[in-house]
Copies of this chain bind each other. A is one copy, B any other.
Amino acid sequence: MRLRGVGQNIVCQMVVDLDDVLVDAESLQRFVAAVLEAVGITREDAAITADVLVTADLTGHESHGVARLEGQYVRPVQTGQIRAGGGLVTVRETAATLVLDADNGLGHPAAKHAMDRCIAKARDAGTCVAVVRRSNHYGIAGYYPMMAAAQDMIGVCCTTAGALVVPTGGRTMLLGTNPLAFAAPARRNRPFMLDMATSVVPIGKVEVKARRNTPLPLGWAVDGTGQPTTDAAEVLERTFGDMTGGLVPLGGLEAGHKGFGLAAMVDILSGVLAGAQVSLHVREAMGSGHGAGVGHLVAAIDIAAFFDSVDEFKDAMDTYIDELHAAPRAPGTDRIRVAGEPEFEAKEHHLRTGLPLHAGVAASLQKLGQELQVPPFVLLG
């Protein structure tokens, strides 16, 4: 499934590729968890990781979903590059802060447990900031702030990531796409949920252009000399090569210094403050065989500390979101979408109709299942 363009009227339109197969999401999630357990991940951590990965596919972020299972998680666990038994160690703690060490385990359970503890501490102190060091890729950033929103809190989350982005005035990859995620609950409306890379586009969009042999819009990427380029294949190649050129920070050629600033802020919060690798060193660290040394920051703000009743906040959120929805629209716009709505609509749609998975991805997952003696997941229709 790929979210292609915008919807019509109220219902977001999903386009199913001819080479997609429809799978049962629940069955897929059980499968992913079983695969992870088969390589030594604990039952609890496997379930968490499976939930984060399948949620990515359900919400339309297939680039962060089950397609990554084998290459990014299963094989690194098997070779010991990611520790199967990684537990979360508390390094330091105050009333409203936590420093955690993921012991080179999977990033998903590390971030999930960090947010759980953050929420509990915020319930007492009003707010809490937790950092995680020595972690790994944790999938979609938006998953973790949504945990806070479900507990009537505001959630924030960011992470370091392998360098792909060129700082303003530079010509090499120095920054990760360093996502920033934020969620806040409403009452009638769905939560506000922002999950954004701090680059103009994620690398996945360049991959799509390269695959289709279409030029990049000017402003997405620069070449090895730091000049704007439209050559998708070359940008992609350099990503795995000399790491010159790369993605342009959010703001593009006009205001890229702002995206540069945001990406560096994420490096400082989830890298420097966490005592973890900043983006520039994540890939080297991966090459070292001791995990990526990725850092995360999660934070929770308890809305109950700000109002007599949480509903005061939620009602004001509804009014705010309603006013955005009701705003006069430019021609060609069916409605104004508030952050998170495309994801929630995709998820609701897929839970109703089944989850489209690229046939190739589905086939290699089933093959991986055979190898690890895990029963296959259910194909629909």
Interface, chain A (partner B; CB < 8 A): 92, 94-97, 99, 124-129, 131, 154, 167-172, 174, 182, 184, 192, 194, 196, 200-201, 217, 219-220, 222, 225-227, 244, 250-252, 254-255, 257-262, 264-265, 267-269, 271-275, 278, 280, 301-303, 305-307, 312-313, 316-317, 320, 323-324, 327-331, 333, 335-339
Interchain CB contact under 8 A, A262 and B194: yes
Chain B contacts of A200 at CB under 8 A? 251, 254-255
Name the CB-closest residue of B to A194: B261
Q: Known interface pairs A96-B126, A254-B220, A313-B273. Does A337 touch B262 (Cβ–Cβ under 8 Å)? A: no
Complex contacts, A168 vs chain B, CB 8 Å? 336-337
Say yes or no: B124 contacts A127, CB within 8 Å: no
The smallest beta-carbon distance between A185 and chain B, in angstroms, is: 10
A254 cross-chain contacts in B, Cβ below 8 A? 200-201, 217, 219-220, 252
CA distance A179 to B316 in the complex (A): 21
Top 4 A-B pairs, shortest CB-CB distance: A226-B330, A97-B126, A94-B126, A169-B333
The answer on a CB contact under 8 Å between A324 and B264 is yes
Q: Are A272 and B316 in contact (CB under 8 A)?
A: yes
Q: Please give the distance in Å from A172's CB to the nearest CB on chain B.
A: 5
Give the CA-CA distance A182 to B268 in the complex, in Å: 10
Residues on the B chain within 8 Å of A305, using CB = 92, 94, 97, 99
The answer to whether A273 and B303 have CB atoms under 8 Å apart is: yes
Chain B residues lying within 8 Å of A184, measured Cβ to Cβ, are: 268, 272-273
Contact assessment for A170 and B336 in the assembled complex, using a CB-CB cutoff below 8 Å:
yes
For A255, the chain B residues whose CB sits under 8 A away are 200-201, 250, 252
Q: Which residues of B contact A125 (CB under 8 A)?
A: 94-97, 125
A267 touches B170 (CB 8 A): no
A316 to B338 Cα, complex, angstroms: 37
Name the one of B97, B128, B169 contacting A335, with C-beta atoms under 8 angstroms: B169
Do the beta carbons of B226 and A333 come within 8 Å of each other? yes
Chain B contacts of A303 at CB under 8 A?
273
Besides the known contacts A169-B336, A172-B327, A264-B324, 8 further A-B residue pairs in the complex with CB atoms under 8 A apart? A94-B126, A96-B128, A194-B265, A201-B254, A219-B254, A227-B330, A251-B251, A267-B320
**Given the complex, which residues of B lie within 8 Å of A268, measured CB to CB?**
154, 184, 192, 317, 320
Q: Are A222 and B330 neighbours in the complex by a CB distance under 8 Å?
A: yes
A325 to chain B, nearest CB (A): 10
> Taking CB as reference atom, which chain B residue is nearest A299?
B127
B250 touches A258 (CB 8 A): yes
